[in-house]
Structure 1
Amino acid sequence: MSKDSLVKGTVILTLAAFVARFLGFVQRIPLQNLLGDSGMGTYTISYNVYFIFFTIATAGFPSAVSKLVSERMELGRKAEAERIFQAAIWFAVISGILMTVILYLYAPIQAAASKDPSAVGPIRAIAPALLLFPLAAIIRGYFQGRQHMMPNGLSQIFEQILRVVTAVFLAYWFIHVVDWGLSWGVTGASFGGVAGTIGAILVLLIYLVRLRKKDEEEGNIPSEREVLAASRIKYTSIYKTLLVIAVPIVLYSATVPMVNYIDSSIVKPLLISSLGDQKAQDILGQLGGRAQSLAGLPIVLAIAISQSIVPIISAAFAKGDNRLVAKQAGRAMQLAVLTGMPFVILITVGAKPINSLAFGNAAGTSLIAFLTVTAMFQILMQTSGAILTGMGVMKPLVGHVIIGLAVKLIVSYALAPFIGIYGIMGGTALCFIIMSWLNHRSLKQRVEGFHIFTRGRWTRFYFTTAVVSLVGYLVAWGSGKLITGIPYRIDFLVQSCLVGGVVCLLYVVMLGVTKAVTREDLETYPASVRRLVTKFGRLVGFKL
């Protein structure tokens, strides 16, 4: 893969991931207003259990297909690449049918475990999405192996658009037009996932037909002898190879969905005795509908930017260039920390105005702030995991997942009787902290000279974070006291903009003043990051 195509592909997938996550967050705003905290609690249960099945059915397989197809295409063995693609398609069809049936039958069990009988309908409404999503994942892996990233990016965006439009429309229709009640509204919102999947498949199939026509026009079609030779490769051997590559990736990719699934399964059972059914349901809705969606925003951009370096790390590791591996791994982690922190600070200190602006009231503000702080450790965990994956270090990662999830469960059950939802969220925080530390230790053991910052630089970065957090908090507190007499939403829009502007501007300035980031650092970052920082510096009249 050429440097240009690598950069272009990374940019496309980064933008697509960010737009898709942002649209996913935007979807929660009208749904929260339509369904309320109680309805969002039920929606959270259905979405989180679906996402676990979705991750098992898809995560890892696009990467595995991409790797195998790319290797065969590089060697000029297109017939073998097509044979792998065909085998993967059959696997996707069969696994999709199995996952759909299992989720449909499992719905009453999950609803009973979550203490929410009304979750049965929404879970079953979203189950058919699993019929098509494994197929979409395999096609995306094929396109990635052929170095065509645009279909993957556009299909993600189109999927989210259809998901949002369908979910909001059906929720509104069932509740306000035909007056079927809240449970039908949640069911309609869940069905948005099915519509989104159909949209993604349509986009991918259109591009697949175009690619086939282009191959025919360019004569890029394997001969009959090549097709015959490739047909001798048994599907069982292909599946074995795919699973060896995919299973560890699936297990690691399932970490965050599994944590969210655990929360949606245990929040009501652990809180219902002390708070009552309705209050526990509302807290689950605030956690899933507000906190998880807002806390997920800092993660996307930070991980996407840092992972733009991961292919370079993989290539350097394959060549045995330990010095370059250490340097680029440190840069990737450094970028994740630097790009994630301002958004973590912004959402944490501005949780009240942002929450009130987006969802119409301040309920769940403390949950948003708490969970957003833990997002920093999630960024570290996922970025370090991506680096280790690029190095082919998968077995330790699987062990780290098991340890992290065990800690999550133990701490949640131990602390929930005493401090309620904060005990459960404390389990989440400790899970990510421990996994981040274990990943970091594995990198230190395997990559000589690896570090994120020197000790002195860490001190300067901590000081920068503390100053920006304090000033941001004071701005949020002061603007809340001083801005009065204007419409509710405009009030919180002004407050959110003030906090956001001050935090982002002061953060960049403080990084330069304290020398937490130097010009030498910038010169080692990807060109896109250098241009962004340079333009922003000129805008505010400050140079690093």
Structure 2
Amino acid sequence: MAKNNVFNSVIILTVSMLLVKILSALYRVPYQNVLGDTGLYAYQQVYPVAAIVAVLSLNAVPSVISQFDHEYAEKVYRLLRISSFILLILFMIFSGLIARLMGDPNLTSMLRISLLVLLPFSFVAVARGELQQRDAMRTIAVSQLIDQVIRVSVILLGIYLYTTGFSIYESGAVSILGSFLGISGAWLYLRRKGRIKPADSLSKTQLKQFLLLTLFYALSYLIMILWQLVDSFTVLNMLKHIGYSLQDSRELKGIYDRGASLIQMGLIVTTSFALVLIPLLAQAKRQGHHQEMNDYASSALKITIVFSSAASIGLLNLIKPFNLFLFKSDTEAVTLAVYMLAVIFVSLIIMFTAMLQITEDYQIQAIGVVSGLLTKIVLNIVLIANFGILGAAIATVSGLVVYTIVLFRRIIQRYTLQLKSFTVRWAMTLVVMSIVLQFTLQLPFTDRLSALIVSLVGVAAGVLIVGSAMIKFKIISADEWIHLPFGEHVIRWMK
């Protein structure tokens, strides 16, 4: 029971984050269905701007502030208020230039609206940090849900306005406004819980410490957003460079952006299961229990590999019916299939980042993300020129692989991992699942209904094969299941 109490205080927050992730993953489907791939393209080009601010206000800054006192929080509030206002003015001035660098001047108004999230950002970030410091997770969870419900509601309004005659850019501007209105709703709610007054400036040492910690708390949440930001500046330009028209380039980029929803769906399960063990890992380190620490690290990594590879390979095999059912066509299925491999490496990066934060290995994380991003940028330019939009998917996965390898080399220096015993059995399970899913794809699917049926049959077959193998071969042990959601039920089945 003592171990379970370690994360009792964050159960509500975890559940609310799951709901947030689900809502965030699903809204793109109706968006693409109504506005088409070009509409999805326009939204995704600008989305990373608002997403970076959302990550900082929801995860990174609160995590840093929760480690310090109220006076520190007030100093951070002063810093964030001033810096966010300056950034807002600068980016407003240069938004036209940024849109041209993205290859589409029509994005200017959407970029300007996306920048409005900087206005309530400072208060929301600091307030959440102080609440996290007091373990007031219920209040944080409510603020998250208010933010997300408002945001998704406004996106749905943007979708509706498109049917009344709005252009993809006008509808996109309304939709991206949802990010500002969502965080503003959280701001109004959190103001009722208390006010924050700006204090003196942070000292140079405190400023360096704050920026460093914020960067590394943000990294694991920003992975796909940073990769998408690279795509925003390179994919459209490269497609136009090799001869595609602006319209064709926008449509191809929109098809490619479908993958973001599917990847996010895959990550919901993998990260939610695996990160449950991180508090136990941190507690074992604090208590100096090195063997227990290595055991928890091995278990967390094994769970990450199992769930991420199952989700990734399942999505890869079923990409055609999923694509047809969700997005009305199975265009660029090979591109999206390659893109699905990102689930494995993003999951591993998130887990490695959490494990390295416990050992305070911050520098290697910066090396990892810079190496991965440089790989992504270079390969986007080279591969899109040779393979079209498929090159962007290959570049994404390749950049993530480089990032993963850099972190893994440090992980094996800090932890003694026991992973060999299950790898052969699990690899065989994935091969069997893939073979069965390929047989499933022999069922005819020519419209959305039949694609849905084939998708459901495939998912059921995949879950049955993976679940049976996990229980029969004890891929995850009873000691590991006990820490996972519904673990007690699985243990009973194992017996």
- TM-score for the superposition, normalised by structure 1: 0.83
| C-alpha distance in structure 2 between counterparts of 1:249 and 1:411, whole Å | 27
* Equivalent position amino acid for 1:517 in 2: I
CA contact (8 A) 2:328 2:448 kept: yes
C-alpha contact 1:171 1:184 (8 A) present in aligned 2: no
Partner of 1:359: 327
From the superposition, tell whether residues 203 and 363 of structure 1 become closer, same or farther in structure 2 (CA, over 3 Å): farther
Measure, in 2, the Cα distance between the counterparts of 1:265 and 1:253.
20
State which of 141, 146, 159 in structure 1 corresponds to 2:147. 159
2:469 maps to which residue?
510
SS at match of 2:340: helix
Q: Which residue of 2 aligns with 1:51?
A: 51
Moved more, 200-209 or 104-113: 200-209
What is the aligned counterpart of 2:478 among 515, 518, 522?
A: 522
Give the percent of matched residue pairs that are identical in Structure 1 and Structure 2. Answer: 20
- Partner of 2:458 in structure 1? 499
**Counterpart Cα distance in 2 of 1:102 and 1:365:** 40
2:296 partner SS: helix
CA shift at 1:105, angstroms?
A: 2.6
Task: Report the CA distance between 1:471 and its aligned residue.
Answer: 0.8
Secondary structure of the residue that 1:320 maps to in structure 2?
A: coil
Q: Give the equivalent residue in structure 1 for 2:93.
A: 105
- Which amino acid in 1 is paired with 2:141? G
Residue among 185, 191, 202 paired with 1:199: 185
User: In the superposition, relative to structure 1, how do residues 184 and 259 fare at CA in structure 2: closer, same or farther (>3 Å)?
Assistant: same
CA distance in 2, matches of 1:432, 1:414: 17
Of structures 1 and 2, the larger Rg is shown by 1
Match of 2:409 in 1: 441
Mapped to 2, the partners of 1:106 and 1:56 lie a distance apart of 22
| AA aligned opposite 2:426 | F
Shift of 1:110: 2.1
Q: C-alpha offsets along residues 275-313 of structure 1, whole Å, 9 cap, x if unaligned?
A: 32222111111222x111111222133122222221222
**Match of residue 381, structure 1, among 349, 368, 388:** 349
**Secondary structure of 1:155's match?**
helix
Match of 1:172 in 2: 160
Paired residue secondary structure (1:36):
helix
Q: How far apart are residue 490 of structure 1 and its match?
A: 3.0
Q: Distance in 1 between matches of 2:461 and 2:73?
A: 50
User: Which secondary structure does the structure 2 equivalent of 1:275 belong to?
Assistant: coil
User: For residues 461-484 of structure 1, what are the alpha-carbon distances to aligned partners after superposition, in whole Å with 9 as ceiling and x for unaligned?
Assistant: 111111112212221x13335xx7
Q: After TM superposition, give the deviation of residue 339 of structure 1 in Å.
A: 2.3
Aligned to 1:283: 252
Q: Give SS of 1:274's match.
A: coil
2:367 to 376, 395, 399: 399
Deviation of residue 353 (structure 1)?
Answer: 2.1
2:383 matched residue in structure 1: 415
Counterparts of 1:343 and 1:247 in 2: how far apart (Å)?
28
Residue 191 of structure 1, CA deviation: 1.0
Give distance in 1, aligned partners of 2:54 and 2:488: 40
Whether contact under 8 Å (1:45, 1:264) holds in the other structure is yes
Q: Please say if 1:543 is aligned against 2:494.
A: yes
- Aligned pairs for 1:120-139 within 5 A: 120-139=108-127
User: How far apart are the structure 1 equivalents of 2:233 and 2:453?
Assistant: 37
d(CA) in 2 for partners of 1:105, 1:358: 38
One-letter code of the match for 1:427? A
Partner deviation per Cα, 1:1-43 (whole Å, 9 max, x = no partner)? x856542233223222221111112211221123211121111
Q: Could you tell me which residue of structure 1 aligns to residue 168 of structure 2? A: 182
Conservation of the 8 A alpha-carbon contact between 1:14 and 1:305: no
Answer yes or no: is 1:344 the counterpart of 2:312.
Answer: yes
- Aligned residue pairs, count: 490
The answer to whether the 8 A contact 2:26-2:261 is kept is no
Secondary structure, counterpart of 1:478 in structure 2: coil
Q: How far apart are 1:361 and its partner, in Å?
A: 2.6
- 2:452 maps to a residue whose letter is L
Distance 1:320 1:127, change over 3 A: same
Indicate if the aligned counterparts of 1:151 and 1:203 stay in contact, CA closer than 8 A. Answer: no
Q: What is the RMSD computed on CA atoms of the aligned residues?
A: 2.5
Partner Cα distance (2:193, 2:327) in 1: 38
Partner of 2:75: 87
Does the aligned pair in 2 maintain the 1:345–1:503 contact within 8 Å? no
Match of 1:257 in 2: 225
Match of 1:148 among 136, 141, 145: 136
Cα 1:470–1:202 change in 2 (3 A) is: farther
2:271 and 2:304 in contact (8 A); partners too: yes
1:311–1:390 Cα contact (<8 Å) kept: no
Cα distance in 1 between the residues matched to 2:343 and 2:83: 32
Q: Alpha carbons of 1:234 and 1:93: their partners in 2 closer, same or farther (altered >3 Å)?
A: closer
User: Unaligned stretches of 5+ in structure 2?
Assistant: none
Q: Distance in 2 between matches of 1:367 and 1:192?
A: 30
Rounded Cα–Cα distance in structure 1 between residues aligned with 2:331 and 2:125:
37
Instruction: Give the AA of the match of 2:282.
Output: S
- C-alpha distance after superposition, 1:179-208 (max 9, x if no partner): 343321111111111111112223333444
Aligned CA distance change for structure 1 residues 423 and 176 (closer, same or farther; 3 Å): closer
8 Å CA contact 2:124, 2:187 repeated in 1: yes
- Matched with 1:77 is none
Is 1:370 the counterpart of 2:338? The answer is yes
1:42 aligns to 2:1 (yes or no): no
2:30 corresponds to: 30
